[in-house]
Structure 1
Amino acid sequence: MVKSVWRRLWSVAVLSATLIVFSPDMARAAADVPVPPENLLSDQGEGDLSDADIDFVTKVRLAGLWEIPAGEMAQEKSNSARVKRIGRNIADQHKVLDELTRNAAKKLDIDLPNEPNKDQKGWLNEMEEAESAKDFDEIYIDRLRAAHGKIFPAVATIRASTRNDTVRKLAQQANQFVMTHMTLLESSALVDFEALPTAPAPNAATSAPARVLSSAEQAPASETNVPLILAALAGGLAAGAFATRQIVGNRRGGYRNRRTRYYNG
């Protein structure tokens, strides 16, 4: 009986390891990488809804409208088993994200588009007109990785700034999808990282030290104010010295009392 139980447990372990090895897409986050718990977020449609919020929900919907057919196209036009799997996973996951987006839009009374925009249609046409499977793979990976790179910071901005709880939850969910899709696309080994846009240089103005006023800009102290300034400084020093003695005395007294109680106890 015990051997039978152990045999079943061993079979399950081997099957799980096999799925992870041969299908890395199914593997979860590493043990030391936290996954944000969605159950801690409210989703009541409460909070002000900004134009940026509406634009974000619309863009998440648009992403699915072209990435789903692109992933399905990969099943027909690619000869790479890896690209086909990436396309299938991304398409299937976008169907889930699209349902979350439509539910959020319904709750917030946001009108969503039902077809890709002009740019997205152009990308789909590029894939459709690819002359070879290799060309298709490069176009597919390049276009999707570039699109995810653009939406990634937009998701972070909305997640950090929105006042609406439903948009906040959708942004957190979308963030997980986008990171997963970027990782899947990069696993194709077809991403040209050197061609990706570089991050803008840090804003020097935000890190510059405070400007020191020149002598001409500083307001000169009149002769009649000098004694007052000196008197104020002296008073401040005296008050500080008195407060310091009081604090030190109280701490010493408390310490002595605690020592007495400790040794007499």
Structure 2
Amino acid sequence: MNRVEKSMEKYNQLFGDGVPATYATDPDFQDILSRFIFGEVFCQGNLDDKQRELITLVVLTTSQTLPQLKAHVGAALNVGLTPVEIKEAVYQCAPYIGFPKTLNAIHEVNDVFKTRNIPLPIESQTTVDEDQRFQKGLAVQVEIFGHVIEKMRESAPSNQKHIQDYLSSFCFGDFYTRGGLELKTRELLTLCIISALGGCESQVKSHVQGNLNVGNDKETLISAITHCLPYMGFPRTLNALACINEIIPEN
């Protein structure tokens, strides 16, 4: 099967029969897009379609390309992702891109859910309460990054210790402890989110190591960043690959 046939088959699997509206106005551009994304990138690496759509959702959320996000929420449902998994992937973006952009994405997700007659709100995935969120978040941090977290907290200036507390209780306590997605998936999605942001190479390197620590190997990381390429472009992709190669050198 050549890449044209592959792209048509994959597009129909994700979005159903029919052709993109852009073919009516910009057929050459749409040909390049479809054949690259669906005929090449979707075939590269060791990810399944569910993983690919979760990655696509968080990268589109990060870049705030909301019409495309809306289309991929439908595609995510079509490949078998649950409403919980979709919502949790979008929620996972909040500590990195902020609440307003995450709320924009949630609005698009909810619109698709309503058209599919998916009841809202979906079931809660909260596993911590106010008394536990800090300690449980800190425990997840240590699980991902090791005891360097304790040293980082100890070395923080007194006027900045609250940021370290927020990192443990909010980013990891409120989000990483939630149900719906396993830890390996959350950490892989986080790598894609901060890679898509650009200018976060220090954090990308930390999360490359974090991914290794929770069981995502280099092949998986390269596959994930490759899948991000059509949505975030070559500069951010090459920067992320450089981070991966620095932390996990080629043999």
TM-score (norm 1): 0.30
TM-score (norm 2): 0.31
